[in-house]
Structure 1
Amino acid sequence: MRIACGIEYDGNPFFGFQMQKQEPTIQSCLEQAISQVANHPVKIFCAGRTDTGVSARQQVIHFDTDAERTPRQWTLGINTALHEGIVVLWVQVVADDFHARFSALSRSYEYRILNRSVRPAINRQYLTWILRPLDHDAMHEAAQTLLGTHDFNAFRSSQCQAPHAKRTLLQADVVRDGEEIICHFSANAFLHHMIRNIVGTLLKVGHGNKPVCWVTEVLRSLDRKQAGMTAPPQGLTFTGVTYPDQYQIPNDATKQ
């Protein structure tokens, strides 16, 4: 039996999603908690791995089990055993051909910037603070040049293990809400550090150091050295995943 879950987590206490030597990771905590409820070892698969410090409002995972539990029993049992920085939002049985990663049609993130002259005290671990004024309209205009299917090699890290850099960017919006600038991104998939590198590049436009058209030049260069800095991870949140309707997977934190 294949089980899918919606997961919310605070990325700050963890060394990213994927299991590694440094602990704790989100994957290791989830596998330990789910295995405890299932009474057998469980391996999970996620829609998209996140880096150290990156949070998620609606990550999706799946695992296989022979254990008979109701969705409520899974949810309550796993949450009782989980690290306080992670919570299961919903649980449902899915078709055997469902895969949290490979069945996904798109993934969405947001990047939040506090743009004011003094540092934040509240929610500081979930924001990137930029004290110099930013032109969010110029940033938004520049971001539109990245929409569509392109080779995003200029925006991926040197550690990226993807076999190619071709991705389809579906949304790239930059809006201001008072002192906050929020960047919304959706794509069929993202490369390692792709969003943080795009944001770092857009910041050069927002500061007026580069013109809007420069972002297109960076994209076409296919050269990571031509792009801006890698923006800090704290402002980045994984916000949702979309799947084919046949799987009936929710794309937000609400369920039924």
Structure 2
Amino acid sequence: KIFGESGSQIVIEEFLTGPEVSVLSFTDGKTVVPMVSSMDHKRALDGDMGPNTGGMGTVAPNPYYTPEIARECMETIFLPTIHAMQKEGRPFQGCLYFGLMLTPKGPKVIEYNCRFGDPETQVVLPLLKTDLVEIMQAIWEEKLDQLEIQWKDESAACVVMASGGYPKKYTTGLPISGLDENGQIEGCFVYHAGTKLEDGKILTSGGRVLGVTATADSLRNALKTAYAGVEKITFQNAHYRKDIGQRALKALPEL
């Protein structure tokens, strides 16, 4: 009963298996343009063990999301969703997030979100070539079908550095060091998630503290660069997964 009376009722749902894929998309209410796919790592510990979190790291693109599956999702999920909202008189404009699972019976929708989701956005937007403001303008004017959205032929990886104990109990207010050193690593940059500036020092202020991200010509190199950035940063009880992207690497052809 940790959630109160809501724990008085149990809902039994179909158990789905298969790789998970996150597909964020731009839509002006009529046209839907999927972004580069990504793979989130929800479990707190290596090997997809431990409690679920808001995300311990991501990679993009997701190698399990093949062109064939992308076409199937467009025909059976993305366009029907947009058309259904139109039919209900509530067309949606903005960023529509599809959380999918690629089951043996085909792609299934796990969740929708009407926003950019993190840490997926932290690997998707760095691969965007087209000016994001141009895309927003096209969505506002309902002219998305007239804009060609281009992406870099690269890969991106994000490793989340979290507070020890997250997603359960954890301590905040701990000083972070080594952030400036990331500027010396080409292709590496840091998103601040749970931090605060106090007396000229950057301190931890949440569960997921930093998203250390890198782009490169391959997923393997992006992961290598992101982890090089993680090694530069320290704060007490810092926790991060050591196996971000390993499942994705197994799906790639051998070099």
TM-score (norm 1): 0.34
TM-score, normalized by length of structure 2? 0.34
